[in-house]
A and B are shown apart, each in its own frame.
Chain A
Amino acid sequence: MEPARDLVDAPPQLPDVFARWFAGRGWQVHAHQLALLARANAGRSALLIAPTGGGKTLAGFLPTLVELSERGVRSRNLKSTGRALVRPQGLHTLYISPLKALAVDIARNLEIPVQEMGLPVRLETRTGDTPTSKRQRQRRDPPDILLSTPEQLALLLASADAPYMFGTLKRVILDELHSLVTSKRGDLLSLGLARLFKLAPELITIGLSATVAKPDELRRFLVAQPPDGRAHADLVTAQAGAQPIVTMLDTEEHLPWAGHSARHALGEIYAHIKTHKTTLVFVNTRSQAEFLFQELWRNNDDNLAIALHHGSLDVAQRRRVEDAMATGKLRAVVCTSSLDLGVDWGDVDLVINVGAPKGCSRLLQRIGRSNHRLDEPSEAVLVPANRFEVLECRAAIEAVAENAQDTPPLRTGALDVLAQHILGRACGEPFIAEELYAEICAAAPYAALSRADFDAAVDFVATGGYALKAYERFAKIRQDKDGRWRITHPRVAQRYRMNVGTIVEADMIKVRLVRSRRSGAVVPRGGRLLGEVEEYFIETLRPGDTFVFAGEILKYEALVEDEVYVSRSDATDPKVPAYEGGKFPLSTYLAARVRAILAKPEEWRALPEQVREWLEIQQWRSILPKAGDLLVETFPRAANHYLVCYPFEGRLAHQTLGMLLTRRLERARLRPLGFVANEYALAIWGLGDIALHIKRGDFSLAQLFDEDMLGDDLEAWLAESALMKRTFRSCAIIAGLIEKRFPGEEKSRRQLTISTDLVYDVLRKHQPDHILLRAAHSDAATGLLDIKRLAEMLSRIRGRIVHKALHHVSPLSVPVLLEIGRESVYGEASDMLLAEAADELVREAMS
């Protein structure tokens, strides 16, 4: 291996004991491991970008281990400075991982070199599962290395002994940084880091990351930002592994027009599993995982050991799968993004990605799960589930070949997380507003935070931040005579600790397997726990409905307190499909590539015959738009008139667009009846003949798609949008307006909490600029409503709308039209639905 060229100084020598250990294992030190050591020795923070399996974690810990080995056996004596007790040696390194399983796993792996080299190092984990006694001991007598999560860091910082615990800290290692920074957990972590920079002035950081589009943003995350300007950590880039071999499954079967099941390719997927040692089969959603797992077993003539892994399964069951995998007992695991990160597993020699890749960085990270030897290429097969996904797969393969990256940009720090952190700081020790503001602005995501927003957040934490000053006497934090903000009661800190964190999952309900009951009989209790499902999913079920979960077809029996009772069903076709799509929208980058492929017929040669033919007929019947254009087709069908457009901006942005367009069509008296969106297209149908109105000149598509829909129309819709209310709910919980857990009370949250929908309605009416509404709006820009993406699209297509008035359905529109009935939407679940349900009753009664 070549020595890295970007060293600060000459590459440092490994201490003998390390050199011997590496040699004993038959390993060579990677150049990037030495490079990182050199940065650390020079007292510089650094970001290491390395592919999976590049010895990344060891690289991160190497500087710490070397330093601790040279320090020798630690002294446990305390020294008094007169003001406080100080230890010459305390906590040395803090490691933060996005998954607690990963922290535990890394600790286990790290014990090996520590023991084999006989290093005088004590390392411990601290997660939500760590017993209280051990946590207390860790605060009194911290280990040399602590492995933990962002939430635990927040908790540790919110206690009075944080300066004692972290004052000695030399190093923070942030693992899977590319994944952490894209969420509110990253915001929380950045604020914790800003605090650590204050508590431990000698602190340097090491970030470990997969390849990202903009490494400079991650480099900023790792160091304190100065008040004017930008500071960056150093960058160390590991040598890239061998170029992966990625192919698309060239199916012999009929390629479906729509759907996400990939049912057609089951036999071919099975054949791949059979000819490989261990295969990871990635899918995008839990229900796809369930479906695929079921179907693979249905045809598992060779009885291959195929397992299932997703985030909703019971933890014990997941651990069993992971252990079986690590010991090489499995031939395949069907899994979701629950396995995107972390845990290093045995000898995976094939990754199959079923469905849309969604983004090329995401795909590259999944592919990286196979074959951890850097000098050999990873192998991956993409299995598109429908024709549009073929285009997306093709675009992804090209992007991977070019090593293109499309990771999202760094977030602007969220205000709800800020509020949580401010309360946490007050729980730790009283703060002066000016000082805390300066400290927070050192965190990269909050570098541009205005003083006004900061003050609003403090005001919110104190008394709710209302224009009507009604709650002064109930304040949670209050300024003392020295101007320092402190909590008004120890209870405030206790409740903060119970509610810390930024992960607001949908309310989950436990699923328990029971024996089917005879009608009328009492439901038997206490069956085996299968896992958890979202409450809103269960709300759509009626007793007797069947659905797939935990690899089985289950019948919904009853909801008993906070658990769903289900029984095994003999049904072969579950009645309720649960496609939870659109969690990760198609990346803007891949979308642009897909549009480019469509625009260039000469590139279709690389596509499967069936898809090529489809596009050729589309070209003949309608057109295929130029890469920057938006094609809008109109045609009549049965009694309705259809409008179909193809923005390729992902289901979420399309849904928002659909909501706004139908409002406008309604105002134009074109009587829209419904719409349906998928990742690529949006179809609206109604009674009015749009094409005719365009021809007559009294309606224009340019006006329909005008950006001004993001003004009043959007506002009006947000007032009633269930998605917006869900967004607000998580902001309210993170900011601490609504507490989900109360000390000493085990009652179900239904009894204790108030519906945030009601709070949203009232707040919106009385104080529309409230900090929580602003937080929810900025989440909506990128979250469930994807307004930012929509705005960019509307601006991109201005003056570039191509209208085709057709006499019948176009080939390109078939996939989206096939979604009608599966999940057609119009408006929010609302009065319209009630009216329809009521009418249906009338029809039944009268017929």
Chain B
Amino acid sequence: MSQAAPNLAESEGNLIVLSGVPLLADPRGALYWREHQILAVADLHLEKGSSFAARGQMLPPYDTASTLACLSDLIADYSPRCVVSLGDSFHDVGGPTRLGDADRDNLTKLQRGRDWIWITGNHDPEPADGIGGVFHETLKIGALTFRHDPKGGSGEVSGHLHPVARIAHRGRAVSRRCFAADTTRLVLPAFGAFTGGLNVRNAAFADLFGTLAFTAYLLGDGRIYSFTAKRCLPD
């Protein structure tokens, strides 16, 4: 690498220019907007484990702790002025009440000294008590609009779809979470420890981007691998 890298995370991320705004896609699944020091993550689905447990499937109660630990690493690396959680931050409306004490303390620590914005999502449509932060349906900053459910507008940064892409090579296939973006719209990968994914070749992405002229930025181990949507395999 010829240029000096400002920090480790940034050197291995990928630059995506959205409506003229340079954004850094971190291979851990977050988006960083250097100009405003905003760190965005999507679809944390906190308390998904306990949500399943309430319905009789006792998934491990460690998903919230895992997700917050990953988020904590990112916050330590970037020291953002503002964190935007792009909706479906909790798996269901009961999530904030079920949040365990240790996890709640952890969340409070992460919020200390910075702005924290909860964008509302379909899983968590109402503002909730006891989790700090402020609530917005959408957030416009400069040329960009942050929202949960993508509408296809220009400069839109969203989540909701949980994009994953599949690449086949030499008879074997690898599936990874990914960012999906063209020059004006971007969908973040789901960040939560228990969140699954939707193949980028699903009709939902074609509807959003119009064609297959978008790129999938696959999350690798410390690195982003980008492929055109055409190169990705359908399910």
Q: Which of A36-44, A270-278, A707-715, A826-834 contacts B (4 or more CB under 8 A)?
A: A826-834
Q: Is A559 touching B235 in the complex (CB atoms < 8 A)?
A: yes
Contacts of A823 in B (CB 8 A): 171
Quick check: is B196 within 8 A (CB to CB) of the other chain?
Answer: yes
Q: Is A471 touching B61 in the complex (CB atoms < 8 A)?
A: yes
Q: How far is the CA of A831 from the CA of B169 in the complex (A)?
A: 11
Q: Which of A476, A540, A737, A766 contacts B168 (CB 8 A)?
A: A540
Q: How far is the CA of A576 from the CA of B168 in the complex (A)?
A: 13
Contacts of B218 in A (CB 8 A): 834
Q: Which of A464, A540, A830, A835 contacts B58 (CB 8 A)?
A: A464
Q: How far is the CA of A762 from the CA of B64 in the complex (A)?
A: 10
Q: Is A758 touching B196 in the complex (CB atoms < 8 A)?
A: yes
Quick check: is B203 within 8 A (CB to CB) of the other chain?
Answer: no
Q: Is B60 touching A762 in the complex (CB atoms < 8 A)?
A: yes
Quick check: is A463 within 8 A (CB to CB) of the other chain?
Answer: yes
Quick check: is A318 within 8 A (CB to CB) of the other chain?
Answer: no
Contacts of A468 in B (CB 8 A): 61-62, 100
Q: Which of A474, A543, A824, A830 contacts B54 (CB 8 A)?
A: A474
Quick check: is B63 within 8 A (CB to CB) of the other chain?
Answer: yes
Q: How far is the CA of A835 from the CA of B225 in the complex (A)?
A: 7
Contacts of B196 in A (CB 8 A): 754-755, 758
Within 8 A of A (CB), among B35-61: 48, 50, 52-54, 56-61
Q: Is A762 touching B63 in the complex (CB atoms < 8 A)?
A: yes
Contacts of A762 in B (CB 8 A): 60, 62-63, 66, 193-194
Contacts of A491 in B (CB 8 A): 56
Contacts of A767 in B (CB 8 A): 60, 62
Quick check: is B135 within 8 A (CB to CB) of the other chain?
Answer: no
Contacts of A834 in B (CB 8 A): 167, 169, 174, 176, 218, 220, 225
Quick check: is A668 within 8 A (CB to CB) of the other chain?
Answer: no
Quick check: is B170 within 8 A (CB to CB) of the other chain?
Answer: yes
Q: How far is the CA of A654 from the CA of B63 in the complex (A)?
A: 35
Nearest Cβ distance between residue A844 and chain B, in whole angstroms?
11
Q: Which of B3-11, B120-128, B226-234 contacts A (4 or more CB under 8 A)?
A: B226-234
Within 8 A of B (CB), among A817-841: 823-824, 829-831, 833-838, 840-841
Q: Which one of B65, B166, B173, B218 has the greatest number of beta carbons of chain A within 10 Å? A: B173
Nearest Cβ distance between residue A83 and chain B, in whole angstroms?
33
Q: Is B57 touching A738 in the complex (CB atoms < 8 A)?
A: yes
Quick check: is B223 within 8 A (CB to CB) of the other chain?
Answer: yes
Q: Is B173 touching A540 in the complex (CB atoms < 8 A)?
A: yes
Q: Is A542 touching B168 in the complex (CB atoms < 8 A)?
A: yes
Contacts of A543 in B (CB 8 A): 234
Quick check: is B172 within 8 A (CB to CB) of the other chain?
Answer: yes
Q: How far is the CA of A813 from the CA of B171 in the complex (A)?
A: 24
Nearest Cβ distance between residue B93 and chain A, in whole angstroms?
17
Q: How far is the CA of A476 from the CA of B174 in the complex (A)?
A: 37
Q: Which residue of B lies closest to A821 (CB)?
A: B170
Nearest Cβ distance between residue B44 and chain A, in whole angstroms?
14
Quick check: is B221 within 8 A (CB to CB) of the other chain?
Answer: yes
Quick check: is A305 within 8 A (CB to CB) of the other chain?
Answer: no
Size of the B side of the interface (Cβ < 8 Å), in residues, is 41
Quick check: is A30 within 8 A (CB to CB) of the other chain?
Answer: no
Quick check: is A759 within 8 A (CB to CB) of the other chain?
Answer: yes
Within 8 A of B (CB), among A716-762: 737-739, 754-755, 758-759, 761-762
Contacts of B59 in A (CB 8 A): 464, 737, 754, 759
Quick check: is A495 within 8 A (CB to CB) of the other chain?
Answer: yes
Quick check: is A589 within 8 A (CB to CB) of the other chain?
Answer: no
Question: Hey, what's the 0/1 contact readout for A459-493 against B, CB within 8 Å counting as 1?
Answer: 01001111010110010100000000000000110
Contacts of B225 in A (CB 8 A): 831, 834-835, 837-838
Q: Which of B56, B100, B223 contacts A492 (CB 8 A)?
A: B56
Q: Is A464 touching B235 in the complex (CB atoms < 8 A)?
A: no
Q: How far is the CA of A217 from the CA of B195 in the complex (A)?
A: 45
Nearest Cβ distance between residue A513 and chain B, in whole angstroms?
20
Q: How far is the CA of A619 from the CA of B60 in the complex (A)?
A: 57
Q: Is A766 touching B62 in the complex (CB atoms < 8 A)?
A: yes
Contacts of B223 in A (CB 8 A): 831
Q: Which of A463, A466, A539, A824 contacts B173 (CB 8 A)?
A: A539
Nearest Cβ distance between residue B175 and chain A, in whole angstroms?
8
Contacts of B172 in A (CB 8 A): 540, 829, 833
Q: Which residue of B lies closest to A825 (CB)?
A: B172
Contacts of A840 in B (CB 8 A): 169
Q: Is B170 touching A836 in the complex (CB atoms < 8 A)?
A: yes
Within 8 A of A (CB), among B171-195: 171-174, 176, 193-195
Quick check: is A249 within 8 A (CB to CB) of the other chain?
Answer: no
Q: Which one of B57, B168, B233 has the greatest number of beta carbons of chain A within 10 Å? A: B57
Q: How far is the CA of A765 from the CA of B223 in the complex (A)?
A: 22
Q: Which of B100, B169, B233 contacts A833 (CB 8 A)?
A: B169
Q: How far is the CA of A619 from the CA of B122 in the complex (A)?
A: 71
Q: Which of B58, B62, B171, B235 contacts A765 (CB 8 A)?
A: B62
Q: Is A539 touching B235 in the complex (CB atoms < 8 A)?
A: yes
Contacts of B226 in A (CB 8 A): 838
Q: Which of A470, A755, A833, A835 contacts B50 (CB 8 A)?
A: A470
Q: Which of A460, A474, A576 contacts B53 (CB 8 A)?
A: A474
Q: Is A829 touching B174 in the complex (CB atoms < 8 A)?
A: yes
Q: Which of A464, A495, A830, A838 contacts B60 (CB 8 A)?
A: A464
Quick check: is A341 within 8 A (CB to CB) of the other chain?
Answer: no
Q: How far is the CA of A540 from the CA of B50 in the complex (A)?
A: 34
Q: How far is the CA of A754 from the CA of B50 in the complex (A)?
A: 13
Q: Is A833 touching B62 in the complex (CB atoms < 8 A)?
A: no
Question: Hey, what's the 0/1 contact readout for A518-553 against B, CB within 8 Å counting as 1?
Answer: 000000000000000000000110110000000000
Q: Which residue of B lies closest to A830 (CB)?
A: B174
Q: Which of B52, B169, B195 contacts A837 (CB 8 A)?
A: B169
Q: Is A841 touching B227 in the complex (CB atoms < 8 A)?
A: yes
Q: How far is the CA of A587 from the CA of B220 in the complex (A)?
A: 39
Contacts of B231 in A (CB 8 A): 841
Contacts of B58 in A (CB 8 A): 460, 463-466, 471, 474, 476, 737
Quick check: is A763 within 8 A (CB to CB) of the other chain?
Answer: yes
Q: Which residue of B lies closest to A466 (CB)?
A: B61
Q: How far is the CA of A635 from the CA of B96 in the complex (A)?
A: 62
Q: How far is the CA of A829 from the CA of B167 in the complex (A)?
A: 10
Q: Is A470 touching B174 in the complex (CB atoms < 8 A)?
A: no
Q: Which residue of B lies closest to A473 (CB)?
A: B54
The answer to whether residues A495 and B194 also contact, given A542-B168, A834-B220 and a CB cut-off of 8 A, is: no
Contacts of B193 in A (CB 8 A): 758, 761-762
Nearest Cβ distance between residue B57 and chain A, in whole angstroms?
6
Q: Is A495 touching B66 in the complex (CB atoms < 8 A)?
A: no
The answer to whether residues A540 and B100 also contact, given A737-B59, A762-B193 and a CB cut-off of 8 A, is: no
Q: Which of B57, B62, B169 contacts A763 (CB 8 A)?
A: B62
Q: How far is the CA of A830 from the CA of B223 in the complex (A)?
A: 12
Q: How far is the CA of A837 from the CA of B54 in the complex (A)?
A: 43
Contacts of A463 in B (CB 8 A): 53, 58
Contacts of B173 in A (CB 8 A): 539-540, 829
Q: How far is the CA of A738 from the CA of B56 in the complex (A)?
A: 10
Q: Is A470 touching B57 in the complex (CB atoms < 8 A)?
A: no
Q: How far is the CA of A759 from the CA of B172 in the complex (A)?
A: 23
Question: Hey, what's the 0/1 contact readout for B52-96 against A, CB within 8 Å counting as 1?
Answer: 111011111111011000000000000000000000000000000
Q: Is B167 touching A837 in the complex (CB atoms < 8 A)?
A: yes
Question: Hey, what's the 0/1 contact readout for A70-84 against B, CB within 8 Å counting as 1?
Answer: 000000000000000
Q: Which one of A466, A492, A838 has the greatest number of beta carbons of chain B within 10 Å? A: A838
Contacts of B48 in A (CB 8 A): 754
Q: Is A765 touching B227 in the complex (CB atoms < 8 A)?
A: no
List 10 contacting pairs A-B, 8 Å CB cutoff, sorted by A.
A463-B53, A466-B62, A492-B56, A543-B234, A738-B57, A754-B48, A758-B195, A761-B193, A762-B63, A833-B167
Q: Identify 7 new A-B residue pairs, CB closer than 8 A, beyond the known A460-B58, A542-B168, A754-B48.
A: A471-B50, A471-B61, A539-B233, A737-B58, A739-B56, A754-B194, A766-B60
Name B's A-contacting residues (CB within 8 A).
Answer: 48, 50, 52-54, 56-63, 65-66, 100, 166-174, 176, 193-196, 218, 220-221, 223, 225-227, 231, 233-235
